[in-house]
Structure 1
């Protein structure tokens, strides 16, 4: 794949970190000497104010040290489940000449207690918030799960407005996100595969899929692309999105981002694969098609008649958002004979005082509208919407009165802006916004011939595009007649008895209504 032919990079700080860890011997096994192992760990965390430890005697006889990072553990639970049991007098340990690790483990009251023998594994677990217990003369350390960190509550996803359906969105905690998927899909076929990406951040990444529904070839390709990532840190799932796309230079997104657990669960049921990243509320869905980007989870919660109407309206406004300004430019500049006479007189009268050609006029208005939109997003929420609306009204009215733009073009740009808000996927909205400028340029140079040529180029690009090997424009190209029932329209649930052929071919059967009369 072209993506993995690109040059991999590792920053200078990462290289220094790897050299230091190699010098420290982190890949070695624990020595069993408590002072030696503790000094090695303490040296690595020198200058880290959140590094904490507690020296103690187990049953007043065996030397041990507890290591932890403040802010990542629950101190009260550690005191109750770890320290108190270890300090309590234990007759079995006192009478045993050589206690085993299992005997020490039996003292602990924590729900999850693991053992690690390599130095690197102990460091990784400590950085992940685990409590480490080192006991003198033992070559293994106890990994005790008493993590606790601040996280926001489960709220309605701010980037995907909810009208119908569950009003909960993903959070930055990957465990919480996984539990929301598990609560929706109570089956042993739901699989979670954990890995860590980032030389410095060691960010947890989870691949989730339904065994028997997702194609093994797609799952393996997701694993391969994630394992091929070499980077210092993963701050958000968007980092991974850009690194695993088939065509990174395409304006069309080939990975679907969502904050809605119900959307991810619905895609898993269709044979897609999900990728969740710790510290990010956005999950990734692969492979994805253009028509999945156009569909909303709420399409499946409303009645199919209304949903079909909304979908057709959505595709109509897709054409408006992409082509309306360019059609206006082509008609007013090259093809005036296409307009009714009365409308032609009105447009000509409104443009009489405008000093710019239609294409320059449209570009000025579109750029101004995009600036107002971005300003509204960046401003504080209480005033952002007010500034964007009032700014658009004031600027538009002032521009018309000053004779800089014509009134019909203001209507065209405003309608186009409204149309661009109808798409469920924000990255797809960005692609349409960029292509609109391309279509304006084509219309300004060649008129309707330029528009047809631009649409042709876009369609060819969509047909050639792939998302993890799946055709991006399926089921239209290649054509699958049975999948059309959930693309431009939505048939009733009892008619959607098969999954999409491109992703669900491993198990096509989805719905069965044996007693349905129609």
Structure 2
């Protein structure tokens, strides 16, 4: 609460009060947003010679400090549109209220701080309230700024579109004061697509939440705050739809956030690793994305989203294996094309995992699988190679992994050129020197291309590692070793869970199929 002097009133400038969240008071735990008790907003008394305004949480309103006058405990709570609106909006961290009082005049503001601009609120609402001594003059000023009378039932939808609700003398006005922080958003660098949005999340929490609320304007979208790291204490948000989110997964997310006993957390990738209770798990249990449209889609499916200050990506939980194999372009294409692309990704995944092992097993143990002409061609190409097939595969896999890693670490403008030239020179020189066969170069190139078909990088990195144990099993047991490795991989995926949900499962009712309209008679 801030008291303004008469000089501030005359100049029309106000000291900005910090916006406090309307949920729970700060606690010592990492999770600072427990469910609040519904109480009435405080009524502020007038200071001598000035006015005061506050933005206080609903739980804090039950305390009296000599300035606030609150309802006695035995007084029944009166229902009014303001209290009903606050209860309807829930305990989201970015739902803010302000109460303005000057010389007996009262006004209340309710808005989303992630969608509305503080400077524009001060210019179009607070400053006119200070400068006009009559409420009708203040209402006239609001109308000239574009405010319109609004029914109480329309307030929740208006607020999710960046409007500010102003309660004045029993009347309600809404005024669009959206935050222009996303005038030049950053384009996506990793998850590129053809038809969808090209804008990525921001490292600033309010800007990321602005994008998400703009794409998912639902009053049931709740944002809960948390702190990550004992020393870093980075601000973060947990987003979920209060109607659709699975409470079991939400409670598990809260518990794991409370159990983070580390000094510093620097990024969402590190947060994902720390929240994975399977310490030696190879596969990611949360989906990492930089796209706000993917976040909005996940929220509509009842998933939980985690944001962290300073990191331009979000974590989505719980995640299933098929989530890592789908792209947002799948919902932008026609039915058969979408499923053909998904099938292409699974075929590419199989090539990445098993093609090097199949080469080793067939050349070393089971050459009878090929036709005679193909077997002789492969044997002729390997005539000059001085070591076994599994050594040849390991050498080429090491070279291609080094090229991929160097392309990531080199500067953007020279990375692609350097790795392309290096790959061509190394491959041609190795084949001419008789160190590897020509068929081996074809196989390794196919594996490298197929690995990049996987849409989510964290899963692509995991599958790059899985193929090495399969090559090792193939070098000892041939086709039987590949079969055994495939069995172990499926068992490992089936035994995993993501925040209480099974990791390897079929898509729920083939979610993309539900998006295509059906004609009369059942035809798609």
For Structure 1 versus Structure 2, the TM-score category normalised by the shorter chain is 0.5 to 0.7
CA contact (8 A) 1:152 1:171 kept: no
Q: Partner of 2:256 in structure 1?
A: 225
Q: Deviation of residue 59 (structure 1)?
A: 6.2
Q: Partner of 1:411 in structure 2?
A: 442
Q: Partner of 2:490 in structure 1?
A: 459
Q: Which runs of structure 2 are paired with 1:368-379 in the superposition (5 Å)?
A: 368-379=399-410
Q: Deviation of residue 363 (structure 1)?
A: 0.3
Higher helix share: 1
Cα separation, partners in 2 of 1:330 and 1:280, compared to 1, 3 Å: same
Q: Deviation of residue 233 (structure 1)?
A: 2.0
Cα separation, partners in 2 of 1:104 and 1:436, compared to 1, 3 Å: farther
Aligned partner of residue 219 in structure 2, secondary structure: coil
Q: Which runs of structure 2 are paired with 1:95-134 in the superposition (5 Å)?
A: 106=51
Which of 154, 174, 177 matches 2:208? 177
1:82 aligns with 2:15: yes
Q: Deviation of residue 475 (structure 1)?
A: 2.6
Which of 273, 284, 287 matches 1:242? 273
Aligned partner of residue 422 in structure 1, secondary structure: coil
CA contact (8 A) 2:193 2:328 kept: no
Cα separation, partners in 2 of 1:272 and 1:105, compared to 1, 3 Å: farther
Q: Which runs of structure 2 are paired with 1:140-289 in the superposition (5 Å)?
A: 153-289=184-320
Structure 1, residues 310-350: CA drift from partner, whole Å, max 9, x if none? 11111111100110010011000000111111111111111
Structure 1, residues 204-226: CA drift from partner, whole Å, max 9, x if none? 11111111111111111111111
Q: Partner of 2:368 in structure 1?
A: 337
CA contact (8 A) 1:304 1:492 kept: no
Q: Deviation of residue 251 (structure 1)?
A: 1.0
Q: Which runs of structure 2 are paired with 1:367-406 in the superposition (5 Å)?
A: 367-406=398-437
Q: Deviation of residue 113 (structure 1)?
A: 8.3
Distance 2:456 2:436 in 1: 31
CA contact (8 A) 2:203 2:311 kept: yes
Cα separation, partners in 2 of 1:102 and 1:408, compared to 1, 3 Å: farther
Structure 1, residues 430-450: CA drift from partner, whole Å, max 9, x if none? 111001111111111111011
Which structure has more RCO (C-alpha within 8 Å, separation ≥ 6)? 1
Q: Partner of 1:122 in structure 2?
A: none
Distance 1:168 1:314 in 2: 24
1:493 aligns with 2:515: yes
Structure 1, residues 225-253: CA drift from partner, whole Å, max 9, x if none? 11121222221112211111142311111
Distance 2:183 2:306 in 1: 21
Cα separation, partners in 2 of 1:107 and 1:210, compared to 1, 3 Å: closer
Distance 1:303 1:321 in 2: 27
Aligned partner of residue 452 in structure 2, secondary structure: helix
Distance 1:79 1:437 in 2: 69
Q: Partner of 2:129 in structure 1?
A: none
Aligned partner of residue 433 in structure 1, secondary structure: helix
Q: Partner of 2:503 in structure 1?
A: 472
Q: Deviation of residue 155 (structure 1)?
A: 1.9
Distance 1:105 1:286 in 2: 50
Q: Deviation of residue 424 (structure 1)?
A: 0.7
Unaligned runs of 5+ in 1: 1-56, 61-77, 84-98, 118-144, 477-482, 496-512
1:436 aligns with 2:467: yes
- RMSD, matched Cα: 3.2
Q: Partner of 2:77 in structure 1?
A: none
Q: Partner of 2:458 in structure 1?
A: 427
Q: Deviation of residue 389 (structure 1)?
A: 1.0
Distance 1:101 1:113 in 2: 17
Distance 2:49 2:444 in 1: 72
Distance 2:317 2:191 in 1: 19
Aligned partner of residue 275 in structure 1, secondary structure: strand
Q: Partner of 2:381 in structure 1?
A: 350
Cα separation, partners in 2 of 1:399 and 1:172, compared to 1, 3 Å: same
Aligned partner of residue 189 in structure 2, secondary structure: coil
Structure 1, residues 155-203: CA drift from partner, whole Å, max 9, x if none? 2210111212111110101111111111111111111111222222221
Unaligned runs of 5+ in 2: 17-43, 64-117, 120-178
1:313 aligns with 2:337: no
CA contact (8 A) 1:246 1:467 kept: no
More displaced 10-residue stretch of structure 1: 467-476 or 446-455: 467-476
Q: Deviation of residue 284 (structure 1)?
A: 0.3
TM-score, normalising length: structure 2: 0.67
